[in-house]
Amino acid sequence: MEKEVTATAKVLAAVPDGEAADYRPDPRSRSARELAWHIAETDLQFFNSIASLKLAFTEEKNPTSNSAELVAYYEEGFRAALARIRALSPEQLAQPVDFLGAFTFPNVTYLSMLSSHSIHHRGQLSTYLRAMGSKVPAIYGPSADENSFE
């Protein structure tokens, strides 16, 4: 998850500020700004829910005004949530947790679901970047815009 969060933070940081962040490839799509917030907030709520042994999600308003603030919010929130998750016992990680009435899995299973959700939306957002005049960062390998993993 730490590597995924690092890659996600790079994509969030690549979203330009200002009107460019209102870009959406289709009227039914979220804007880049909306999608970036969805990724950051849902990831953090998911991490904290896992740490709390109870999945709960709310719609929160974006408290950030630019990409740098969003990345800082995301990275700080992740570090705090990761410390809470690392403090869980094996029994807590194995504990069955209800997913909003849809199904129940061992708590640890939700880390994989979180990762898949984040990767899915990060991929969406990365496809917006060039259309907004930004560069696509290296994620799992070099991109045409970034030739390293750093």
Q: Kindly report, residue by residue over 88-130, the tens digit of the pLDDT.
A: 999 999 999 999 899 999 999 999 999 999 999 999 999 999 9
What would the two tokens of residue 58 be?
A: 């709310």
Q: What is the pLDDT of residues 49-69, one digit of tens each?
A: 999 999 988 888 888 889 999
pLDDT at residue 6, as a whole number:
93
Cβ atoms of residues 74 and 40 within 8 Å:
yes
Q: Indicate the length of the chain as a whole number.
A: 150
What SS3 state is found at 97? Answer: strand
Domain boundaries, the chain: 2-132
- Could you give the CA distance from residue 104 to residue 52 in angstroms, rounded to a whole number? 15
pLDDT at residue 60, as a whole number:
85
Cβ atoms of residues 63 and 73 within 8 Å:
yes
What would the two tokens of residue 134 be?
A: 């930004």
Domain 2-132 coded CATH 3.40.50.1820: no
pLDDT at residue 63, as a whole number:
86
pLDDT at residue 150, as a whole number:
55
Q: What is the pLDDT of residues 1-33, one digit of tens each?
A: 888 999 999 999 999 999 999 999 999 999 999
Q: Give 3-state DSSP helix, strand, coil % of the chain, rounded to 5.
A: 60, 5, 35
- Could you give the CA distance from residue 120 to residue 96 in angstroms, rounded to a whole number? 25
Provide the whole-model pTM: 0.92
